[in-house]
Amino acid sequence: MTISKSIGLRVVAITAVASSLVACGGGHHLAEYPFTNRTLAVVYIAPPAPELLTSYYDLGNSQNPLEAVVRGAADIAREREGRRAKARLDSAAARIDIPTVLAQRTLQRASRYLGTRPTTDENQADYLMEVRMERFGINAKADEATYLFTFAEAVLIDRRTGREIWNVNVHGRDRLTPYVQSSSPIPGSVIAAGTLGSVRVGDFQNALNELMDYSSTLITNELRAALRDVRN
């Protein structure tokens, strides 16, 4: 499934392309539970620090000595810019209340589809949706572009019994730098590294907010589809 949308990264003036992979658990029990006028709370399990994924340069991949030198220099530049970008991403992540952003957006959407009443009191709610953000960060491995990525899992639970009612695994990705295609022997990572260097902390902050919203939408859209199958 591929979804395209535009996000506001004004400084670098780019178009974001979001793609996702969604995997649902084997079967669910949504049809067995009443949700109308029951309460739902979202429990967010925070991720580790943002990751930086880069590929170290390999001069052995090229048969042309000059191209090997250029490619090696390009990969070194990408590594350097990637590490600088990670520091800015860390700063951006520190400015965002990721648990609150993701929990609020997921709670409102999930409650709308289930027919439950949203609550922030997880100890009194009838149902809990546990959202675990397993990984997120920068993927600067590809020559043609750099991406923000996230891996998340959501589980709907009957709070009183602890029974798992429904679950979904989500992989979300937002393109951060322009896609580059070129027949030139100079690799695209030169451009990717240069573009990554222009992304400021505020841009990363905007992108992470969009990525959290995107992850919430993916999770709740899958819930809505599962409920539609049950109710139709």
Q: Distance (Å, rounded) from C-alpha 211 to C-alpha 205?
A: 10
Q: Which of 142, 232, 222 is nearest to 188 (CA)?
A: 142
For residues 103 and 82, what is the distance between their CA atoms, to the nearest angstrom? 29
Contact yes or no for 221/112 (Cβ under 8 A):
no
Q: Is the pTM of this model over 0.75?
A: no
In the block, residue with structure tokens 């602890």: 162
Do 210 and 92 contact (CB within 8 A), yes or no?
no
- Residue closest to 210 by CA, chosen among 150, 145, 140: 150
Q: What is the DSSP string of the chain?
A: -EEE-----TTTT---EEEEEEEE-S---GGGS--TT-EEEEEEE---SPEEE-----GGG-SSHHHHHHHHHHHHHHHHHHHHHHHHHHHHHHHS-HHHHHHHHHHHHHHHHHTPEE-S-TTT-SEEEEEEEEEEEEE--SSS--EEEEEEEEEEEETTT--EEEEEEEEEEEE-S------SSS-THHHHHHHHTT--HHHHHHHHHHHHHHHHHHHHHHHHHHHHHHH-
Phi-psi bin for 110: left (phi > 0), alpha (psi -120 to 50), beta?
alpha
Q: How far apart are CA 177 and CA 194, in angstroms?
A: 9
Strand partners, 118: 40
Q: What is the pLDDT along the chain (232 residues), one digit of tens a residue?
A: 433 333 333 333 333 334 455 555 457 899 999 999 999 999 988 767 788 787 644 333 445 555 555 556 666 776 777 778 888 889 998 998 888 888 999 999 999 999 999 999 999 999 999 999 888 888 877 767 778 888 889 999 999 999 999 999 988 887 876 655 555 554 444 445 566 777 788 888 888 888 888 888 889 999 999 999 888 8
Instruction: Give 5-37 pLDDT, tens digit per residue.
Output: 333 333 333 333 344 555 554 578 999 999 999
